[in-house]
Structure 1
Amino acid sequence: MEFVVVIPARFASTRLPGKPLADICGKPMVQHVYEKACLSGASKVIVATDHQKVFDAVSLFTSDVVMTREDHQSGTERLAEVVDLLELDNDTIVVNVQGDEPLLAPENVSQVAALLSDSTAPMATLSVAIEERDEVFNPNAVKVVSDINKNALYFSRASIPFDRNTMMDDSTALNLSPFQRHVGIYAYRAGFIKQYIELSVSPLELLESLEQLRVLYHGYKIKIEQAQIAPHAGVDTPDDLAKVIAHIKSKNV
């Protein structure tokens, strides 16, 4: 199985400006992500940025970096530009790895690529078991339900599936086993990435603010299974960055 990894590294960030270049133990964050992605078995790992400073920094450790436009409305649009720039074959498997995940597990990258490779679906992703009751009711934790064939049925910020016997009574213990949180790593067939950006925006994705619902709305399959390794949280804030630095120092990774 061959697959390509693309790491979008957008310079602008409201809560952490210049995030891809944030120093983590002597390396920019994007380099940590790149090095972890290279351990996944990908045939190529490409960093896609919209800023010259990021391009120059990445060029110091790899030549696999491309400059993309600044006006993309989503990460998928940026991915589509990379597919065109690299002239990837429609059947090429492309894994989108977020540039703010310096503690990325390479095993999860290869897992999502293999999941797509073994199916005819145009897209695949991962989930993890929810282990705390509060997360079931947290709208920032995206929940997902799937069918017996590992096809996603729906993604939601709401508490799905709704356990009628316990969730209407706060005094009753909630069985957490049915609940899965979506993990934001995606594998696509390159041809579908170009197809996706031509699809009309769905009312469901607008309501939930979840881009992947456009795929389900238009009748396409998304394969999903539990991640082999529970992923660490990404970096959104200075506090997140401090936690990642402390973790890397403590583990010497």
Structure 2
Amino acid sequence: MTAFRSPIVVIPARLGSTRLPDKPLADIHGEPMIVHVWRRAVEADVGPVLVACAEPAIADAVQAAGGRAVLTRPDHASGSDRIHEAVQRIDPDAAHDLVVNLQGDLPTVAPAVVRAVLPPFVEPAVDIATLVTPIADPAERDNPNVVKAVVAFPEEPGDVCPPTARALYFSRAAVPAGDGPHYHHIGLYAYRRAALARFVRLPPGLLERRERLEQLRALEAGMRIDAALVDTVPLGVDTPADLARARALLTPAKAGESA
């Protein structure tokens, strides 16, 4: 039995990237990157898919591909703020009680990975869900650009697929100490509608500012975040080199395949 009824996937997108200008519109085999992300979200079959745009050019690209887009204020501080404005505008009566926040720079994300963020909500107390994967490369454990999630997964997961557990903390440091696995946090979130509304009203937290991790704002406020375990990290496109990798992974044949 699920503790939600009607999810919606919202993809926040803006053109203001410094390392890769006009990133959502970057061409990948004849289509803008944002369209590839929208297709992966549609293939996940989680619910309706909406692109929350800061600029009309992004909306035009999505709509030309047959998708739905809504223009939002261009000055939002975060993707969470952008998706909140978008769902409030298109669904003011909260018919969609779960909002999946899929980043617009994940053109190779597997639809199964998008779906994996839903199982934590079987537990009614969960406010926010996210994803993690085990760190296999020791260099990633000590890399501050790889965010670590402190999660105690049961040794015998039982019938839950994927395994889920409560996230106790997130850090750029290699935590926890001692022997055992470390987990790479994947920045794909889902919010209960009420939790999203609460989250965007919260002021930035002390630990959030110290670690530069937005999710700590929720933990500092006592909100519950659970994580689902997946076996891959989607490629995030932040640089021209990342874009070249995405183009290599999404050959014209692969670009239309579902995972």
Matched, 1:113 2:118: yes
Aligned-pair CA distance for 1:118: 4.0
Matched, 1:209 2:224: no
Larger Rg over CA atoms: 1
**Distance in structure 1 (CA, Å) of the matches to 2:207 and 2:96:** 28
Matched, 1:162 2:162: no
Instruction: Find the partner of 2:236 among 230, 234, 237.
Output: 234
Gap change, CA 1:137 and 1:101, over 3 Å in 2: same
- Deviations 1:81-139 (Å, cap 9, x if unpaired)? 01211225277111000101100111111110232244321100010000011111000
Partner of 2:150: 145
3-state DSSP class of the match of 1:57?
A: helix
Q: Using the TM superposition, name which of 106-115 and 144-153 deviates more.
A: 144-153
CA contact (8 A) 2:6 2:96 kept: no
- Deviations 1:212-237 (Å, cap 9, x if unpaired)? 0011111111011211x413321001
**Distance in structure 2 (CA, Å) of the matches to 1:105 and 1:247:** 12
The residue correspondences of 1:15-30 to structure 2 (distance < 5 A) are 15-30=19-34
**Distance in structure 2 (CA, Å) of the matches to 1:31 and 1:150:** 32
Question: Percent of aligned positions with the same letter in both sequences?
Answer: 40
3-state DSSP class of the match of 2:51?
A: strand
Q: Please tell me the root mean square deviation across aligned C-alpha atoms, in Å.
A: 1.8
Matched, 1:243 2:248: no
Partner of 2:189: 186
Equivalent position amino acid for 2:45 in 1: G
Matched, 1:199 2:202: yes
* Unaligned runs of at least 5 residues, structure 1: 164-174
Partner of 1:170: none
Matched, 1:75 2:79: yes
Equivalent position amino acid for 2:23 in 1: K
3-state DSSP class of the match of 2:174?
A: coil
3-state DSSP class of the match of 2:227?
A: strand
**Distance in structure 1 (CA, Å) of the matches to 2:125 and 2:87:** 20
CA contact (8 A) 2:52 2:69 kept: yes
Equivalent position amino acid for 1:127 in 2: V
Partner of 1:167: none
CA contact (8 A) 2:38 2:67 kept: no
Instruction: Find the partner of 2:52 among 44, 48, 53.
Output: 48
Q: Give every structure 1 segment of 4 or more consecutive aligned residues whose post-TM-superposition deviation is greater than 4 Å.
A: none
Gap change, CA 1:217 and 1:45, over 3 Å in 2: same
3-state DSSP class of the match of 2:118?
A: helix
**Distance in structure 2 (CA, Å) of the matches to 1:115 and 1:2:** 15
**Distance in structure 1 (CA, Å) of the matches to 2:81 and 2:233:** 25
CA contact (8 A) 1:116 1:188 kept: no
Partner of 1:169: none
CA contact (8 A) 1:79 1:193 kept: no
TM-score w.r.t. length of structure 2: 0.87
Partner of 1:172: none
**Distance in structure 2 (CA, Å) of the matches to 1:2 and 1:15:** 36
* Unaligned runs of at least 5 residues, structure 2: 155-163
Equivalent position amino acid for 2:129 in 1: A
